Amino acid sequence: MLDTLHRIVKEVNAAPDLGKALATIVTLVKQAISCDVCSVYLTDADSRANVLAASDGLRQEAVGKVALPPGRGLVGLVAERAEPLNIGDAPSHPRYLRVTETGETHYRGFLGVPIIQNRKVLGVLVVRQEALREFTDDEVTFVFTLAAQLAGAITHAQASGELDTLTTRSRGARYLEGRPGSTGVSIGHGVVAYRMADLEAIPDRNTDDIAAECAAFRAAVSAVEDDLSKLKVRLSGEIPAEDHALFDALLLMLGGDTLVTETVDLIKQGQWAPGALRQSIDAHAQVFESMEDVYLRERASDVRDLGRRILMHLQSDSPQHIEYPTDTILVGEEVSAVQLAEVPSERLVGVVSATGSSSSHVAILARAMGVPAVMGVSDLPVGRMENRELIIDGYRGRVYIAPTPAVRIEYERLAEEERALTAEAEGLRGLPAESTDGVAFPLFLNTGLVNENNSVYSDDFAGIGLYRTELPFMVRDRFPAESVQVMNYRRVLEAFSPRPVILRTLDIGGDKPLPYFPVEEQNPFLGWRGVRISLAHPEIFLTQVRAMLRAAVDLDNLQIMLPMISGVTEVDELKMLIKRAHDELVEEGYAVSMPSIGVMIEVPSAVYMVEELARRVDFVSVGTNDLTQYLLAVDRNNSRVAELYDDLHPAVLRALDQVVRGAREFNRPVGVCGELAGNPLATILLMGLGVDSLSMSAGGVMKVKWVVRSFSVSRARQLVHAALRMEDPQQVRRFMESALEDMGLGGLFRPGR
């Protein structure tokens, strides 16, 4: 029966639309289990009626017309219970409903299986037998498996609007759900960003002319470098200088030794240029894809995009030109930052990607450009989005395809209100981030991409609260020399001087291996990473710390932060290494000074040891992303459990409360540098908990500042006192939404004012 199942699934997946898929499945299932009837009922989203959508064995004139009321009959019972129902004599069941229009009154054997997707019942798959028949366990599991396959096809059809033609009462607003990537709402027409060159399809092929292949490859790399440089110049003045560093990173990948050298080496071994490119790009992308850190894992898509662009130039000297309408919403399976940048900014109104998260380069760039974005829309029918009218809601992560007039009118109103709200928020630029009772809450920047021309929000950020030092290590084929690191850190420190800059020491290993320092583990989330590698390889740590100290000479705005701390012994040993690096440099004649040293609280054990840790360091910073994942045992990038990830969970808030109280015992300042810091719903809670500063991406500063300037600390304490007694994250969320609504700030977390 397994072969039959595979054959049916293959034919269903190959069907051009839902109607054909339903017709295929009812015919093949009827044949597979030798029954008299197979039917599919689809549950109408609005009325909850179960509409006969396809059948082999019932009257065809009833298809699309017969609708069973919700909860009525055996089909309604299956949908209500969301579990299979197997009955040998259906008419004897108390919930049996005679439906003469379908011609099924003389059928006795009944098996109904729910079609479920994301905990929602989409319909019921039914098989019937004229004689008495209770279907076997194998037959039940067979139909059950097919129903699970059908769920994906139905969801896909909902997205493209086909379902409205197969149900009788579907008139509500249809939308797909993804993850918010950049807040805002927009209305426009889809332009599909498709892969210009299929790198994965390139075969291995030998070459006899190695010199010509090398020359062609280098010319293609040069052409892509030229393309990216022009895009960077064109975007000058349209996005903050901070975000230009996205293109600096891509150019660095092209100009670095690893990518180009490895490809050339493969060509010299006899591989033709496209095949060599495919191998080296795949190797580099896999390094990023294996990482736990969301920010760095998303870089894999940038590596693959670079590979496709190089291949495009290898295959053709005249890349295809795309016409963009004035209201372009860029749609793709995996939209890249470069594809986004290619759209003229005056024509771009939104972005929708089937993959990715808020940490994707394209999401970061969309936020910098003030363009709404929805990421990770898993059921997105990308191929049918060209020139379709779309509405995207970047607050809720929704995409409306071919919206009804009522939905369009409502979102036009919300978009107008949002424009007014944004203009009002811009009026806060340059004003201090302090509460209504005069308490200052410095706002810092999270980054890993600052360049020498950085002037981002010069009056609005108090400094850098988290600088990720990993990227310069990732794009090379060896550990960067001390002198190279000095130049990198000096640029960052000078750009923000005299404001403080917190450099996080190297956070690699296990799930984040370097190309030249691989680490393979069964459970990288709990493995050899962060300071654990720093202690095992003090030479790496000492070189980095020496570079940091040298870079801060005459600036004195350096602070060093230690990641992934789980106990006091790690801090004691790392502080001794930092002191050793300082003393060595003094002996060598450098006028270095000891910086402030802090720890990241992102491991549950650190929460319970916070007093002992605070006694040893100068400041504490909470990384809420990892802390939430470890506290709740949830990988937020796993779609099966992502909905369980909630940094407003009472457990997270209580952990934060414990951290602040413990640090206060030694008068140590506490900052928050996770995504929670940039969430307006959490701002009041963090103020009330006694957090001293917040560090976030550039796109969140104005909204957070608005909240800070709208509440007093005493009011914030009242709210957090109530929130800490709550037992459910949704209760906390609704409570905070109500608090912002009461202050007229509802537009900071939802569309409109």
CATH number at residue 270: 1.10.274.10
Can you spell out the DSSP letters for 686-715? Answer: HHHHT--EEEE-GGGHHHHHHHHTT--HHH
Residue 284 annotated to the active site: no
pLDDT digits (tens, 9 = 90+) for 374-390: 988 877 777 778 888 99
pLDDT at 15 over 50: yes
Q: CB-based burial of residue 346 (10 Å sphere; 0-12 exposed, 13-18 middle, 19+ buried)? A: exposed
- One domain, residues 405 and 380: yes
Measured distance CA(747)–CA(424) in Å, rounded: 11
Identify whether 711 is part of a domain: no
- One domain, residues 20 and 125: yes
Measured distance CA(113)–CA(379) in Å, rounded: 22
- One domain, residues 158 and 64: yes
Report percent pLDDT > 70 for the chain: 84
Range scoring the smallest mean pLDDT among 90-99, 423-432, 660-669, 703-712: 423-432
- One domain, residues 271 and 391: no
Q: Residue 384: give its domain's CATH number.
A: 3.50.30.10
- One domain, residues 13 and 149: yes
Q: Which residue carries 């509500």 as its tokens?
A: 172
pLDDT digits (tens, 9 = 90+) for 299-358: 777 788 888 888 888 876 545 567 889 999 999 888 877 778 788 888 999 999 988 776
- pLDDT recorded at residue 168: 46
Measured distance CA(275)–CA(207) in Å, rounded: 10
Where does the pLDDT of residue 575 fall: very low under 50, low under 70, confident under 90, or very high at 90 and above? very high
pLDDT digits (tens, 9 = 90+) for 180-202: 888 889 999 998 886 556 677 57
Choice among 244, 361, 582, 649 that is catalytic: 361
- Apex CA 753: angle with CA 636 and CA 370, to 5°? 60
Q: CA-based Rg of the chain, rounded to a whole angstrom?
A: 29
Identify whether 510 is part of a domain: no
- CA distance readout (Å), 469 to 133, 258, 283, 448, 560: 67, 19, 22, 6, 11
- pLDDT recorded at residue 451: 42
- One domain, residues 32 and 122: yes
**Domain, as residue range, for 362:** 176-193+321-425
Domain boundary (268, 295, 315) is at 315
* Closest among 408, 405, 398, 407 to 327, alpha carbons compared: 408
Where does the pLDDT of residue 27 fall: very low under 50, low under 70, confident under 90, or very high at 90 and above? very high
- One domain, residues 283 and 327: no
Domain count, the chain: 3
Where does the pLDDT of residue 103 fall: very low under 50, low under 70, confident under 90, or very high at 90 and above? confident
pLDDT at 700 over 60: yes
Q: State pTM to two decimals.
A: 0.66
Residue 214 annotated to the active site: no
pLDDT at 713 over 90: yes
pLDDT digits (tens, 9 = 90+) for 241-250: 555 666 777 7
Q: What are the φ and ψ backbone dihedral angles of 126, each rounded to 5 degrees?
A: -125, 135
- pLDDT recorded at residue 450: 47
Domain boundary (258, 285, 315) is at 315
* Cβ 373 vs Cβ 363: under 8 Å: yes
* Closest among 596, 597, 603 to 574, alpha carbons compared: 597
Where does the pLDDT of residue 123 fall: very low under 50, low under 70, confident under 90, or very high at 90 and above? very high
- pLDDT recorded at residue 105: 67
Choice among 35, 284, 649, 673 that is catalytic: 673
Q: Is 124 helix (H, G, I), strand (E, B) or coil?
A: strand
The more confident residue out of 726 and 253 is 726
